[in-house]
Amino acid sequence: MTNKGQIYCLLVVDDEDYICSIVTEALSATEEYQVVSFSDPRKATDYLEKNHVDLVLSDLVMGDFSGVEILDQALRCHPDCIVILMTAYPTVNNAISVLRKGAYDYLVKPFKLETLKSAVRRGFAHQSLARENLHLKEQLALYKLSEAMGEATDLESGLKLAAETARSIFGSGAISILVQEKPDQPATPLLVQGKTTDEEAEAFLRGDHDLCAAALDKMEAESESREIKGRTKRIRSLAAHPLISRGQAIGLLNIVAEDPFMQIKPGQLHLLSIIASKIASAIENNRLYNYLQESYLKAITALANAIEARDGYTRGHTDRVTVLAELIARRLNWDERRLSELKMGCTLHDIGKIGIPDAILNKPGQLTPEEWRCMEAHPQLGGKILEGIDFLTPAMPYILYHHEKYDGSGYPNGLVGTEIPIEGRLLMVVDTYDAIVSDRPYRKGAPPERAIEELELYKGSQFDPVIVDILVAVWNEGRIKELAIYADRSPRAVNV
Ligand SMILES: [Fe+2]
């Protein structure tokens, strides 16, 4: 069985010229076979070094040269090569020995040409299955990479997966992923895996190599060979593939294969292209995500500024409340994502005050009952303002529930105990602490000891006792006094 249309390269080695001729003539009758023969085994080893070979037919004894050397050389240069040895002096030991070394078959001279052709056909069928198996393994590796990169939560782990997949396909070489921050800037390493023993290869991995600049336009690959002990050896292969996003190069995927017999094959370069496109997508997605995060932070800052511009009394209040709330949330072992949501929620908790008339919001005295009712609408007003903005949804519990009291006497819904989301219970405590210690138009802020007394007094009625205990603990540890936001005692006022 052979793949239709594929040309197979066969090498025949026998120190008897007439054997070379007969075998070559017999096999050349098949159109798919391209046969080269050598009666000098040393020329055959050089040929194996420099040319692609699918199948080798070699005599076992050629003067002082053993066919086992041809076998070794063939498998070193072409690991999936089929090698069939021929001999006129068969022994069981010889046969077992060469088969153990990786020969596919062992023919005893003289043999019928049909026997030879049949052995070659079986050899190619075996090779075809092995290659198909390898191809499927590579596809499986790519499939696993696609799945894993889809699940990767951060860019670094996604890139590591891609690099490991590339190294598994290209053998244990070294790999680097380089990125360009801007089109006119050089690509610099984002990730390097594996080591090389050569300074030039190291420079290539860092992007400091002629191939790298050229590879930003199209894929570049080269193999370097050297004369070692009178023989030409391939000592290293380099391949650099551009990372393309929206039609533009944004970096490079560089591979160094330092195995002297490793040759990067066209099929592997195709796989390299697929991996490079996955890496480019991951980098671009990360850039877009960061851009979105920056835009969202700017939006939040603008909204927070809008609140403070409207309400002179709350100047600095949101910052202080945010810092204090984070101090307590860390004691509650909240993770970084939750802490980031907490900052958003604390920053925006009074956003609804934008809808409260100036005359009430900035009244320099006590509010009337009616004015209080208006003021008490600010949590729900805030909820309405941010309704439908998905990325601000985590701020909602802070906005809606920061005036709910533990015993149900708060507003807007009169929720009781743990009915109130923890975000609201936490903000209620720190909001009150800051309100007590802050100046109002009609009174100076109270000393912090007074705020602690107040929180202790209403612990379990107005306030969640667990949160109060944590705040009191951090106060006793001196952690609140250490905060720069409470070191500044210049006049300020707060309406909560
Ligand atoms: Fe409020």
Q: Which helix (H) or strand (E) holds 349?
A: none
CA of 324 to the centre of ligand 1 (A): 16
| 285, part of any domain | no
How many Å lie between the centroid of ligand 1 and the Cα of residue 477? 28
Across residues 68-84, what is the average pLDDT?
89
Q: Which residues of 422-449 are buried (b: 16+ CB within 10 A; e: fewer)?
A: bbbbbbbbbbbbbbbbbbbeeeebeeee
Whether 459 and 319 map to the same domain: the answer is yes
Give yes or no: residues 120 and 186 share one domain.
Answer: no
Residue 13 in tokens: 């080695």
Question: Which percentage of the chain shows pLDDT scores above 90?
Answer: 41
| pTM confidence score | 0.55
Q: What's the pLDDT at 45?
A: 94
Ligand 1 midpoint to CA 72 (Å) = 81
CA of 350 to the centre of ligand 1 (A): 5
Of 172, 186, 166, 158, nearest in space to 273 by CA:
166
Please give the structure tokens belonging to residue 475: 């106060």
What CATH number has the domain bearing residue 36? 3.40.50.2300
| 263 and 358 both lie in a single domain | no
Q: Are residues 432 and 367 in the same domain?
A: yes
CB atoms within 10 A of CB 217: 9
User: How many angstroms separate the alpha carbon of residue 303 from the centre of ligand 1?
Assistant: 15
Domain of residue 448: give its range: 311-487
- Asked which of 257, 280, 303 is the last residue of a domain, the reply is 280
Q: Which amino acid is at 357?
A: P
Distance from the CA of 403 to the center of ligand 1, in angstroms?
A: 7
The answer on 115 and 161 residing in a single domain is: no
**The two three-digit tokens of residue 124, written as one number:** 């190619």
Q: How far is the CA of 402 from the centre of ligand 1 (A)?
A: 6
pLDDT at res. 112: 92
Domain boundary among 240, 257, 280: 280
Calculate how far, in angstroms, residue 24's C-alpha sits from the geometric centre of ligand 1: 93
- Is residue 495 over pLDDT 50? no
Same domain, 84 and 169: no
* The pLDDT of residue 492: 41
CATH assignment at residue 216: 3.30.450.40
Tokens encoding 265: 């094959």
Q: How far is CA 223 from CA 26, 234, 264, in A?
A: 35, 7, 8
If one counts the domains in the chain, the total is: 3
Q: How far is the CA of 379 from the centre of ligand 1 (A)?
A: 7
Going from the Cα of 478 to the center of ligand 1, the distance in angstroms, rounded, reads 27
Higher pLDDT, 348 or 224: 348
Q: Which long-range contacts (CB under 8 A, 24 or more apart) does 18-27 make?
A: 19/59, 19/86, 19/109, 22/113, 23/57, 23/116, 26/113, 26/116, 26/117, 27/116, 27/117, 27/120
Phi/psi for 54 (5° steps) reads -95, -35
**Do residues 108 and 171 both lie within one domain?**
no
327 and 431 belong to one structural domain: yes
CATH code: domain of residue 368: 1.10.3210.10
Please indicate, yes or no, if residue 289 is contained in any of the structural domains. no
Residue 460 has pLDDT above 70, yes or no: yes
61 beta partners: 66
Place of tokens 């006094």: 481
Report pLDDT digits (tens) over 396-452: 999 999 999 999 999 999 999 999 999 999 999 999 999 999 876 667 888 999 999
Contacts 24+ apart (CB under 8 A), 477-480: 479/327, 480/324, 480/327, 480/448
Distance from Cα 427 to the centre of ligand 1, integer Å:
9
Query: Does a structural domain hold residue 242?
Result: yes
Ligand 1 mean position, distance from CA 173 (Å): 60
| 462 lies in the same domain as 329 | yes
Q: Where are the alpha helices (DSSP H) in 14-169?
A: 17-28, 41-50, 67-77, 92-100, 113-151, 155-169
Judgement on whether residues 97 and 165 belong to the same structural domain of the protein = no
CA of 443 to the centre of ligand 1 (A): 19
What are the tens digits of pLDDT across the range 90-149? Answer: 788 878 888 888 899 989 989 999 999 999 999 999 998 888 877 777 778 778 787 777
Q: How far is the CA of 349 from the centre of ligand 1 (A)?
A: 6
> Residues 331, 450: one domain?
yes
